Amino acid sequence: GTPAKPGPATVTVEIDGVPVTVPEGTSIMRAAAESGTDIPKLCATDSLEAFGSCRLCLVEIDGRKGTPASCTTPVAEGMRVRTQTPRLEKLRQGVMELYISDHPLDCLTCAANGDCELQDMSGVVGLRQVRYGYEGENHLDAEKDTSNPYFDFDPAKCIVCSRCVRACGEVQGTFALTIEGRGFDSKVSPGANELFMDSECVSCGACVQACPTATLQERSVVDLGMPTRTVLTTCAYCGVGCSFKAE
């Protein structure tokens, strides 16, 4: 008879003691999710290519030094991963502390209050204090870009996770956004023209959907101060005419 066709290769790993079998090449973060463990994250999403910039998803792997990012590290057969240890807890709190030290402290009046992943992750990692000065280096004085009629861009609230940049390229295929500069000077930019309306942006809203903070906010949310219900049909602000289906 014909030999059985080999199925896709899988590997079995242990996440916090729970065995899980996943396709080869799966990230530790996804394998952990499969096993029922959500690893804290800010720059990774279920749909975008992993980028590995926020360093919140660090894990420990038995027999290895260091704490690799679980969103960009693929599983390997027999790997034993720990996602919650005192060392990881401390590292994650340190990362969040740095983010918050460079972020406006206006949660209570912010349009994203209650719908903000930075806020959520502060709680998840148990951030209790911010020891660093509030220098405002990260464009806290930068002016909002309100040139687009459908959404605002507030650089002061940006954590440079690049989710908007990746969404623009991967979801929309437009590549209107880039990250300019390095360190504290790095910022999301809609190109040399600086304003969204003068850029390649087609107002598809993929960047707004991808933003974990209030940096990119739909106008209705900014004006009304509450999230709107999203109906999957031709987006009100979209000039592209893609094929989202009404449910």
Choices 47-55, 97-105, 170-178, 195-203 (CB under 6 A): range interacting with ligand FES: 47-55
Return the number of the residue (72 or 101) whose C-beta is nearest ligand FES: 72
Tokens 């954590």 locate to: 159
Return the number of the residue (57 or 235) whose C-beta is nearest ligand FES: 57
Q: How far is the CB of 118 from ligand FES (least distance, A)?
A: 12
Say how far apart CA 125 and CA 120 lie, in whole Å.
Answer: 9
Write each residue from 23 to 42 as x if it is in contact with ligand FES (CB under 6 A), else as -, in one continuous string.
Answer: ------------------xx
Say how far apart CA 107 and CA 110 lie, in whole Å.
Answer: 5
H/E stretch holding 90 = helix 86-101
Under the binding rule (CB under 6 A), the answer on residue 206 touching ligand FES is no
Sign of CA dihedral 141, 156, 190, 161: positive
Among 57, 59, 75, 211, binds ligand FES (CB under 6 A): 57
- Give the number of residues in contact with ligand FES, rule: CB under 6 A: 12
Structure-block tokens of residue 49: 């290519």
Structure-block tokens of residue 144: 């909002």
Say how far apart CA 62 and CA 87 lie, in whole Å.
Answer: 14
Q: How far is the CB of 90 from ligand FES (least distance, A)?
A: 17
Under the binding rule (CB under 6 A), the answer on residue 69 touching ligand FES is yes
Q: How far is the CB of 51 from ligand FES (least distance, A)?
A: 7
Return the number of the residue (53 or 189) whose C-beta is nearest ligand FES: 53
Return the number of the residue (37 or 148) whose C-beta is nearest ligand FES: 37
For residue 68, CA distances in Å to 16, 41, 59, 118 come to 16, 13, 6, 21
Say how far apart CA 165 and CA 176 lie, in whole Å.
Answer: 8
Q: How far is the CB of 69 from ligand FES (least distance, A)?
A: 4
Under the binding rule (CB under 6 A), the answer on residue 56 touching ligand FES is yes
Under the binding rule (CB under 6 A), the answer on residue 43 touching ligand FES is yes
Structure-block tokens of residue 112: 């994203």
Under the binding rule (CB under 6 A), the answer on residue 55 touching ligand FES is yes
Q: Please, what is the end-to-end C-alpha distance for the chain in angstroms?
A: 47
Residues paired with 23 in a beta bridge: 10
Q: How far is the CB of 27 from ligand FES (least distance, A)?
A: 9
Under the binding rule (CB under 6 A), the answer on residue 52 touching ligand FES is yes
Structure-block tokens of residue 148: 């687009």
Binding site for ligand FES (CB under 6 A): 41-44, 52-57, 69, 71
